[in-house]
Amino acid sequence: MTLTHDIRFLGTMAKPLARAARVGAVASVRGRWRPYRSWTGAEITDYDPFDPRTAAQPHEAYRGLHAGGRVHYNPNRNIWILSRLADVKAGARAADTLYSGDGVTRARVALPLLVTTDGKRHNEMRRHVLPAFTKAALESWRPMIDELAAKLVGEVLDAPGCDVVQRLTIPMPMLLIAHMLGVPDGDLNEFRRWSEATVQATEVELSRRGIMSLTSSITGIRDIHRYFRNQFAVGGLKGSDTILGKLLDENAGGSISDDELFFFAFLLLLAGNETTTNLLGGMFDMFARRPETFDMIRANHDLIPMAVEELLRFYSPVQGLYRTARTDYQVGDVTIPAGARVLLCIGAANRDPQVFDDPDEFRVDRNPTEHMAFGFGAHLCLGAQLTRMEARAVLRELATRVDRIEVIGQPRWSTNSTLRGPVEMTAKLFAAAAIK
């Protein structure tokens, strides 16, 4: 499919997508789930990741899954759920059988993105973009990350009672990615609006509101496409200090097309923004609720990297990813049938009591190296180091300049089943005595 086809396809897909999802779910529940139960061995569950209340606070449900069998099946949603760390990792590693091409979030939106491409083509695409993620390439963004963290923490300090999500956790990754992609300062507001609309495409609700938001996502994608098409037409990317410029320089043979560049830029927006926003939101939530832990970090900055890993495990900014079974897939005594939609529940895996002692407890020095917040296997997150640089920079600024973090009232959590984090959080930072 060419890019033009893809964009046209996006414009026409909202209604059929909703209809297909509705018809598909009903047909498979009526026609198939009774026989499944008799031979697959999976445990039937009413755990529903799409219930907004469960999505906002899923941990009790995860404890229920861990107390049961290795595979659960929700007949109403027609999904098969893996929740133990070893099984979720094995599922992510079994990319030949559990494939990503039908989309990795709730919506079965198959765009030609790295994350929804499988097999040989995925290896090729990943090889093309790797030069932008080498240690040296990522290091070059460090001064900008440090500068952004210092500026944004300063702004929150100066605005007691502000919404820290709007002031810091959204702008931090958004401004970084915009700079990485070479978006000029004058275009940043528009760029932010498009990016926010784009992320909504990951969660298609079968409701009037859901379809409206899908339509606005599609408009956002179209606007971003138009924007980059103009940038490519003007030229000047090659040799520039942007991530796209770096990729073009590495591919002197011209093996990366404009289409691929666009979809890569688009993936960075989709994969790198809300995920990091969620992690940073978790950081504020945790250290406001646990001032004594924040004091430990203030007293010993060497704890910062470990604290960030524990935040990744504890909050799991990506709660789950979907795969489709190409053939029957065996987990212990259970056979997940070919064609099944399988949820790799990362949020539950990161709180697996068989792996993490007292998993619902945040331990700043736990150093949970086995967590899989960034996925596992062929699609392991390319932005993991970048995220760590961002989160560590923000925490360092907080630990240096702030005595205490206060969250006023109850933060509001997202109800998106894939991406979980605070969407509104009124906060007040108390400046450290030494620098008041």
- Interacting residues toward ligand HEM by CB under 6 A: 92, 100, 104, 114-115, 126, 177, 267-268, 271-272, 275-276, 279, 317-318, 321, 373-375, 379, 381-383, 386-387
CB of 435 to ligand HEM, least distance (A): 29
CB of 322 to ligand HEM, least distance (A): 8
Q: Which is nearer to ligand HEM, 74 or 116 (CB)?
A: 116
Residue nearest to ligand HEM (CB): 383
Q: Which tokens belong to 407? A: 């969250």
CB of 92 to ligand HEM, least distance (A): 6
Q: What is the DSSP letter of 387?
A: H
CB of 90 to ligand HEM, least distance (A): 13
Q: Which is nearer to ligand HEM, 4 or 134 (CB)?
A: 134
CA distance 57 to 411: 12
CA distance 241 to 237: 8
3-state secondary structure of 71: strand
CB of 212 to ligand HEM, least distance (A): 27
Residues 6+ apart with CB under 8 A from 111: 6, 10, 263, 266
Q: Which is nearer to ligand HEM, 162 or 267 (CB)?
A: 267
Which residues are 427's β-sheet partners? Answer: 162, 407
Output the 3-class SS for 218-284.
HHHHHHHHHHHHHHHHHCCCCCCCCHHHHHHHHCCCCCCCHHHHHHHHHHHHHHHHHHHHHHHHHHH
Closest CA to 210 of 7, 411, 8, 19: 19
CB of 209 to ligand HEM, least distance (A): 26
- For residues 241 and 179, is the Cβ–Cβ distance under 8 A? no
Q: Which tokens belong to 113? A: 């993105």
Q: Which residue has the tokens 């090659």?
A: 238
CB of 100 to ligand HEM, least distance (A): 5
Which residues are 44's β-sheet partners? Answer: 73
CB of 377 to ligand HEM, least distance (A): 7
Q: Which is nearer to ligand HEM, 92 or 343 (CB)?
A: 92
Q: Which is nearer to ligand HEM, 157 or 386 (CB)?
A: 386
CA distance 22 to 214: 15
Q: Is the dihedral of CA 334, 337, 342, 344 positive or negative?
A: positive
Q: Which is nearer to ligand HEM, 70 or 323 (CB)?
A: 323
Q: Which is nearer to ligand HEM, 317 or 359 (CB)?
A: 317
Count of CB atoms situated within 10 Å of the CB of 25: 17
Q: Which residue has the tokens 């079965």?
A: 108
Backbone angles phi, psi at 107, to 5 degrees: -70, 135
Q: Which is nearer to ligand HEM, 177 or 398 (CB)?
A: 177
